[in-house]
Amino acid sequence: MFVQQKREGGFSLSNILSRIGPGTMLAATAVGVSHLVYSTQAGGNYGFSLAWLIIFIVVLKYPAFRFAVDYASASGHSLVTGYSKISRIALTWLAVGFFVDMFIATGAVALVAAGLFISVFDLPYTGPQVAIVLMVVSAAILLNGQYERAERLVKTLVLAFSVLAILCTLFALPMLGSDGRGVMAELTPDRSLALFAIAMAGWMPMPSNGAILYSKWVCEKRRAVGDAFGYKDALNDLKICYGLTLVLALCFVVMGTAVLYETGRAVPNSAAGFGSELFGIFTAVIGDWVFPIIAVAGIAVIWSTQFALMDACPRVTGRLFCILANKNDEKSFYRKLLIIQVIGVTIMLLFLMGGFTKFLYFATSMGFLASPAIAYYNYRAITSDTIPDKFRPSRGMIVWSWTGIFSLTAFAIAFLLTSLG
């Protein structure tokens, strides 16, 4: 159990940053496809008309992430342990989900990262080819790395990109409604809008299984720094960084609306084209001088997203397989699964991908379909008899959680009916 300890030091920047860690890993997995692609596209195609949906989905998913902090703090273990105590079915379902995400989610993020690399360095290669190289390089780094090193890198990259995105948004505000353009679209409910909304919601602000990853990162942070990272620190870490993901999502909606909405321009359907358009938004708002800065920051943050996913998915999947197989060889499982991940994503990108946009829609929609079950099982874990009263959810949080579970289930059913219709 995590115990809050009295610490020396005030509220200096270095002191604050030293206490924030797992949340930036969480933010790193968020500021990728959902923000760079879907938030920008939502603003570019629909103005502010879908901003409410972004806020709504982020609010609905919050209890699942809050329960991750509560469970890790109460038990000293990640939610993987919580799922194992619920039932073998829950554990098996989670293992299958993470094993699939090892390829689909990581492949989608790698493809977006490749688009940015191609745009910045004018590479004469396809998106899948560059994505595969990034996967291999990332795997090589991870095979020789550790959590604390990854956390320090990701923390710096996410904070730098966040500052630039917020700065760009402030510059974009005066452009809203310029040249007689509106900021709100008249939404016509149809199949294309429904599919886009569900795809955006799937990874907004991140896939729901990010809660599982966060519970593990909280435990890793606890093991790394001990009592210096207590329960209140973990809660504040989540609130700050989860809130940051919402702010950044809305920032990209503002930028998409200011630069793309009702201009005849749209977010391209190729990896390279997307990268060029994204950087074009920043230069249009701030000026050409910002291109080198935003290029470095953009590549850094999307690569950190890929880096975080490539580290977390094999690590959690290996833990799940060890529990299911009654083995204690997580390190070996991690290395093998990391290599399998690279091989699997390579095959998928070269032979099974049907196009940049279609692949992203598929990946994010699958993430959304898993959301109701994750929200439910996280609730089951934190309300089990083994959890002390201090960490159990309040009545208001219980209502909030069940509202999210029912709403996400309704959205998932609607998506399936729309897709099959």
Determine, yes or no, domain membership for 398: yes
Helices (H), 76-121: 79-86, 88-121
pLDDT score recorded for residue 66: 95
Determine, yes or no, domain membership for 189: yes
Determine, yes or no, domain membership for 2: no
Count CA atoms closer than 13 A to 128's CA, side-chain side.
15
Nearest to 127 by CA among 388, 380, 417, 345: 345
Count CA atoms closer than 13 A to 71's CA, side-chain side.
30
Determine, yes or no, domain membership for 9: no
> Which long-range contacts link 149-156 to residues 24+ away (Cβ below 8 Å)?
150/25, 150/307, 150/308, 150/311, 151/21, 151/22, 151/24, 151/25, 151/217, 151/221, 153/304, 153/307, 154/24, 154/25, 154/28, 154/304, 154/307, 154/308, 155/17, 155/20, 155/21, 155/24
Q: With contact defined as beta carbons under 8 Å apart, do 246 and 31 qualify? A: no
Determine, yes or no, domain membership for 13: no
Q: Please, which residues have CB within 8 angstroms of residue 384's CB and are 6 or more apart in sequence?
A: 82, 85, 86
What letters, b where the CB count within 10 A reaches 16 and e where it falls short, cover 365-401?
bbbbbbbbbbbbbbbbbbeeeebeeebebeeebeebb
pLDDT score recorded for residue 149: 63
CATH for 147: 1.20.1740.10
Residues of the domain holding 128:
18-420
- Based on the structure, what is the number of domains in the chain? 1
Q: Vertex 26, ends 314 and 44: CA angle to 5°? A: 110
Determine, yes or no, domain membership for 3: no
pLDDT score recorded for residue 61: 93
Determine, yes or no, domain membership for 99: yes
Tokens of 51: 């901003």
Mean pLDDT for each consecutive 10-residue tract of the chain (421 residues)? 44 53 68 79 90 93 94 92 91 84 85 88 90 91 68 68 83 81 82 83 82 86 79 88 89 88 70 74 80 80 80 85 83 88 91 72 76 92 93 95 92 80 63
pLDDT score recorded for residue 28: 67
Distance CA(409)–CA(86), nearest Å, equals 20
The Cβ of residue 65 has, within 10 Å, a number of other Cβ atoms equal to 26
Distance CA(129)–CA(147), nearest Å, equals 28
Determine, yes or no, domain membership for 11: no
Phi first, then psi: give them for residue 198, nearest 5 degrees: -70, -40
